[in-house]
Amino acid sequence: MKPEADQILMFSGLKLAAEYAPQIPTQYGQGMAQVVAALMFMSAQEYDRAADIRASENVDMRALFKLLAPQIADADLRRDLEAAAASREESLRISSLNASNEHLRKILIRLHAHLDETGADTRPVWDVLKAMAARRTLTLPG
Shortest Å distance, C-beta 7 to another protein = 20
Smallest separation (angstroms) from another protein to the CB of 11? 19
| Residue 2 beta carbon to another protein: minimum distance, rounded to whole angstroms | 27
Classify 119 in phi/psi space as left (phi over 0), alpha (psi -120 to 50) or beta.
left
**Which 8-state DSSP code applies to residue 21?**
G
Residues 38-67 that bind another protein (CB under 8 A): 38-39, 42
In order, the DSSP letters of 69-115 are GGG---HHHHHHHHHHHH---S-SSHHHHHHHHHHHHHHHHHHHHHH
Half-sphere exposure of 44 (CA within 13 A, CB side): 20
Residues in region 100-119 near another protein by CB under 8 A: 101-102, 105-106, 108-109, 112-113, 116
Give the helix ranges, DSSP H, for 23-93.
27-68, 75-86
Which region, judged by CB under 8 A, interacts with another protein, from 3-11, 67-75, 77-85, 132-140?
132-140
Give the SS3 label for residue 2: coil
**Span interacting with another protein, options 7-15, 66-74, 87-95, 131-139, rule CB under 8 A:** 131-139
Residues that bind another protein (CB under 8 A): 26-28, 31-32, 34-36, 38-39, 42, 98, 101-102, 105-106, 108-109, 112-113, 116, 123, 125-127, 129-130, 132-134, 136-138, 140, 142
